Amino acid sequence: MKRHLSDLQIAAWMTGERTAGEQAHVRECAECGAEVARLESAVAAFRGSVREWSAGAAGRPSRARSRAPHALRLVFATALLAILAGVPLYRTAERQRQAAQARADALLLEQVDAGLARSVPAPMEPLLSLVSGDIR
């Protein structure tokens, strides 16, 4: 293998999937060997810190864990307050929208009623005065 390992090949290496050619390349190539060693070291350090934290957390409650329920309660209380304040505002806005729609509907009905009450359409009203003058 003449080229360096790709990121995908290195990721597969970290999960345990490696070919004989890749293993030989990591042994022979100082750059790829150093990259794999660096990643394995970082994963081992992370694994150790997680185990150390979980062992310590199991024995005694930490300050962060004891504060978590209080913070969670504060978040829920704030959300509840926002909802309780928002509902009346929403209802008021909805009532105002419905009232405005009712006024617009009433105006439209008045316009339709006025249009139907006419004996002739508005464009023909000048002709009506001519005809009514002749009849008298």
Note whether 84 and 130 are same-domain residues: yes
Does residue 71 belong to any structural domain of this protein?
no
Query: According to the model, what pLDDT value does residue 88 have?
Result: 81
pLDDT higher than 50, residue 134: no
Same domain for 128 and 95?
A: yes
Q: What is the pLDDT of residue 95?
A: 93
Q: How far is CA 81 from the centre of its chain?
A: 21
- Tokens 């009532």 label which residue? 95
Please give the pLDDT value at position 110.
92
134 and 83 in one domain?
Answer: yes
Out of 60, 94, 109, a domain closes at 60
**Is 65 within the bounds of a domain?**
no
Our count of domains for the chain comes to: 2
User: Whole-model pTM?
Assistant: 0.41
Q: Is residue 35 part of a domain?
A: yes
Helix axes 7-14, 20-28, angle to 10 degrees: 100
Q: For residues 90 and 119, state if they share a domain.
A: yes
**pLDDT reported for residue 59:** 66
Residue 38 lies in a domain: yes
Give residue 63's pLDDT.
55
For 92-107, the pLDDT digits (tens) are 889 999 999 999 999 9
Structure confidence at residue 101 (pLDDT): 96
Asked if 61 and 36 touch (Cβ cutoff 8 Å), the reply is no
Percent helix, strand, coil in the chain, to 5, is 85, 0, 15
Asked if residue 87 and residue 47 are part of one domain, the reply reads no
- pLDDT tens for 29-85 read 999 999 888 888 888 887 777 788 777 766 655 555 555 677 778 888 888 788 877
82 and 122 in a single domain? The answer is: yes
pLDDT of residue 7: 84
Clarify whether residues 99 and 44 are in a common domain: no
67 assigned to some structural domain = no
Does residue 6 have a pLDDT over 50?
yes
40 CB neighbour count, 10 Å cutoff: 12
The domain in which residue 15 lies consists of 1-60
pLDDT of res. 1:
55
